[in-house]
């Protein structure tokens, strides 16, 4: 096929090059001015329009745009990240779009790059340039890349009947969960054991609708329960804000393109309000997918998976995760709307006898934001911190250790909203955070809507009021 054959489609179907468009290896475009002076530049995003056309994000291409105005032909270099085969595309510029579905798709991709690089004010899509592909030339490596077959198998992991069967098994497990705690465990465990994701986390939307908090994770040194992400921040926050999945094939290349460095978590020994728990995550992630959990048209939370292997997550992963996210979100809403079982058999005045001797645990609570410290170490803040403090005060004053969700919900000091208070998820968060820190204070479920406070050592409570 000749390059000037405008009527014929490319010799290689563009859909066959799906991994080349993930951004794992940046694409390169070459143009030439009317006098033949060449210009070569890297591309932020390349998007397949149909079998014969591609769209390029037009952000900084002033020289490229001038060249195309004089000479509409260009050459594009794509590299398959699995095999490192090269694909050289001969293209001709057709038109520019500044609105519409295609423009919005590219704008979405560019804003993901901006969110990862912290350059939202710089990365703004000006237009989507549409090119017709005249010819695709493939140049295979003489020596196959070691592990190419394994990479291909990994990339194809979610597809096929086996994946559907695994998802069906996970769905069955979720249907057997009788409460939110079991549901969270089954989801995180299933993402690993059934769907094969080594690193995953679940975040729920808080009472304000402005932040997401981690309720469970798998595959990280620290579970990070209670860590928070603002809606709109990073790919997790963007997935929540836009109520649409965010998929990144090469986090490293996107951050490199944006010339940024991942922000480091700052630790300190000072005891004071306003502390944060570090969000779990891989030190050098390559592939990430964040999928919103939506039920009844409302955002419930976000499922997030990631991998240290480039192009390890594909559109099939996003589809599977989206189906799972919908199931989990619906189950969470059902759990929230079901009334708790009767607590008539609970004895809230029963005396606790575990903490009889030994070292004293100092609990310091800051009323301004609910920040709670155990022996000077930060534990939790916000609603979960206020819940723990309220329970400990009642335990100390009344020698109680049996409680019900209903009475906790009616406690005015917790400042719970009247609608969608998320109390059950906050109790689970608190329980998991105490377990994660191997704290001398634990929460044990005794029935639906009932739980017990277990305290291994005497407590000394210290409340700091004011701002």
| Model pLDDT for residues 145-183, shown as the tens digit of each residue | 445 455 444 444 555 567 888 999 999 999 999 889 999
Q: pLDDT tier at 64 (50, 70, 90 boundaries)?
A: confident
Q: How confident is the model at residue 66 (pLDDT cuts 50, 70, 90)?
A: confident
Name residue, tokens 């701002």. Answer: 467
**Tens digit of pLDDT for each residue in 334-349?**
887 765 544 444 444 4
Cα angle 32-35-37, degrees, rounded to a multiple of 5? 45
Tell me what pLDDT residue 341 has.
Answer: 47
Please, which pLDDT band fits residue 124 given cuts at 50, 70 and 90? low
Q: For residue 62, what are its two tokens?
A: 């002033």
- Higher model confidence: residue 260 or residue 402? 402
Beta-carbon neighbour count of residue 186 at 10 Å? 20
Given a cut of 90, is residue 184 above it in pLDDT? yes
- Measure the CA–CA gap between 24 and 5, rounded to whole angstroms: 31
Compute φ and ψ for 78, nearest 5 degrees: -120, 145
Query: In angstroms, rounded to a whole number, what is the distance separating the alpha carbons of residues 236 and 244?
Result: 10
23: left (phi over 0), alpha (psi -120 to 50) or beta: left
The pLDDT assigned to 432 comes to 93
Q: What share of the chain is helix, strand, coil (3-state, %, to 5)?
A: 30, 25, 40
Over range 371-386, report the average pLDDT.
92
Could you tell me whether strands 402-404 and 450-455 are parallel, antiparallel, or unpaired per DSSP bridges?
antiparallel
Beta strands in 140-255 (DSSP E): 199-205, 211-218, 228-230, 246-248
Structure token digits, residue 272: 């004071």
Distance (Å, whole) CA 182 – CA 174: 8
- Strands 361-366 and 459-464 turn out to be parallel
CA-nearest of 100, 140, 116 to 45 is 116
Angle formed at CA 277 by CA 272 and CA 282, multiple of 5 degrees: 150
Half-sphere exposure of 240 (CA within 13 A, CB side): 26
215 by DSSP, 3-state: which? strand
Q: Please tell me which residue, 123 or 84, carries the higher pLDDT value.
A: 84
What is the set of domains in the chain, with CATH numbers? 14-139 (2.30.110.10), 156-260+275-337 (3.30.450.40), 361-464 (1.10.10)
Short-list 191, 200, 203, 176, CA closest to 425 = 203
Answer yes or no: are the C-beta atoms of 142 and 11 closer than 8 Å.
no
Cα dihedral 57, 63, 67, 69 sign:
positive
Indicate if the pLDDT at residue 333 is higher than 60.
yes
The Cβ of residue 228 has, within 10 Å, a number of other Cβ atoms equal to 18
Sheet strands (E) in 108-152: 127-139
CB 310 within 8 A of CB 24: yes
| Residue count of the chain | 467
Give the pLDDT score at 250. 63
**Res 257: pLDDT:** 44
CA dist., res. 361 & res. 192, Å (int): 36
Average model confidence (pLDDT) across the chain: 80
Tell me the residue ranges of DSSP E strands in 231-318.
246-248, 287-295, 298-307
Reported as a pLDDT band with limits 50, 70 and 90, residue 263 is very low
Q: Which of 266, 462, 428 is nearest to 335 (CA)?
A: 428
Helix (H) or strand (E) holding 391: helix 382-398
Residue 262: what pLDDT?
36
Separation CA 203–CA 205 (nearest Å): 7
Torsion of the alpha carbons at 16, 22, 26 and 28, rounded to the nearest 10 = 40
Q: Choose the most confident range, by mean pLDDT, from 3-12, 122-131, 423-432.
A: 423-432
pLDDT of residue 236: 92
| Other CB atoms within 10 Å distance of the CB of residue 462 | 12
* pLDDT score recorded for residue 447: 87
Strand partners of residue 213 = 204, 228
Rounded-to-integer distance, Cα 20 and Cα 249, Å: 10
Q: What is the average per-residue pLDDT within 117-132?
A: 69
CB distance 170 to 120 below 8 Å:
no
Q: Tally DSSP H helices, then E strands, for the chain.
A: 11, 20
What element of type H or E holds 378?
strand 377-380
Per the confidence metrics, is the pTM higher than 0.75? no
């Amino acid at each position: 096929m000749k390059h000037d054959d405008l009527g014929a489609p490319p010799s290689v179907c563009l859909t066959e090059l799906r991994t080349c468009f993930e951004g794992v290896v940046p694409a390169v475009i070459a143009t030439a001015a009317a006098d033949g002076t060449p210009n070569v530049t890297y591309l932020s995003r390349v998007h397949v329009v149909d079998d014969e056309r591609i769209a390029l994000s037009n952000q900084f291409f002033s020289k490229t745009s001038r060249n195309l105005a004089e000479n509409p032909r260009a050459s594009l270099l794509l590299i398959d990240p699995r095999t490192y085969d090269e694909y050289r595309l001969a293209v001709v510029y057709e038109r520019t779009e500044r609105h519409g579905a295609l423009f919005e798709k590219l704008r979405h991709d560019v804003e993901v790059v901006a969110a990862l690089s912290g350059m939202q004010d710089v990365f703004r899509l000006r237009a989507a340039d549409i090119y017709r592909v005249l010819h695709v030339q493939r140049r295979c490596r003489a020596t196959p890349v070691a592990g190419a077959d394994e990479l291909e198998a990994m990339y194809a992991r979610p597809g096929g009947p086996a994946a559907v069967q695994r998802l069906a098994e996970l769905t069955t497990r979720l249907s057997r969960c009788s409460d939110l705690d079991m549901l969270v465990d089954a989801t995180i465990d299933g993402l690993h054991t059934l769907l094969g994701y080594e690193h995953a986390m679940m975040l729920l939307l808080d009472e304000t609708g402005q932040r997401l908090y981690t309720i469970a994770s798998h595959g990280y040194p620290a579970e990070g329960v209670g860590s928070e992400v603002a809606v709109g921040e990073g790919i997790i926050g963007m997935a929540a804000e836009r109520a649409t999945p965010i998929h990144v094939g090469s986090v490293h290349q996107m951050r490199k393109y944006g010339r940024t460095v991942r922000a480091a978590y700052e630790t300190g020994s000072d005891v004071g309000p306003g502390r944060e728990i570090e969000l779990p995550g891989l030190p050098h992630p390559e592939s990430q997918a964040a999928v919103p959990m939506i039920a009844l048209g409302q955002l419930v939370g976000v499922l997030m998976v990631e991998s240290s292997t480039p192009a390890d997550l594909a559109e099939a992963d996003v589809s599977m995760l989206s189906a799972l996210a919908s199931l989990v979100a619906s189950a969470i809403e059902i759990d929230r709307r079901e009334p708790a079982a009767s607590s008539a058999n609970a004895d809230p005045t029963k005396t606790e006898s575990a903490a009889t001797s030994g070292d004293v645990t100092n609990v310091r609570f800051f009323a301004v934001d609910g920040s709670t410290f155990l022996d000077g170490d930060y534990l939790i803040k916000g609603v979960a911190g206020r819940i723990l403090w309220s329970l400990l005060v009642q335990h100390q004053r009344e020698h109680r250790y049996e409680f019900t969700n209903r009475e906790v919900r009616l406690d005015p000091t917790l400042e719970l909203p009247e609608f969608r208070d998320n109390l059950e998820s906050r109790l689970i968060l608190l329980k998991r955070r105490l377990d994660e820190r191997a704290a001398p204070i634990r929460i044990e479920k005794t029935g639906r809507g009932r739980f017990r406070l277990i305290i291994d050592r005497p407590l000394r409570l210290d409340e700091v009021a004011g701002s």
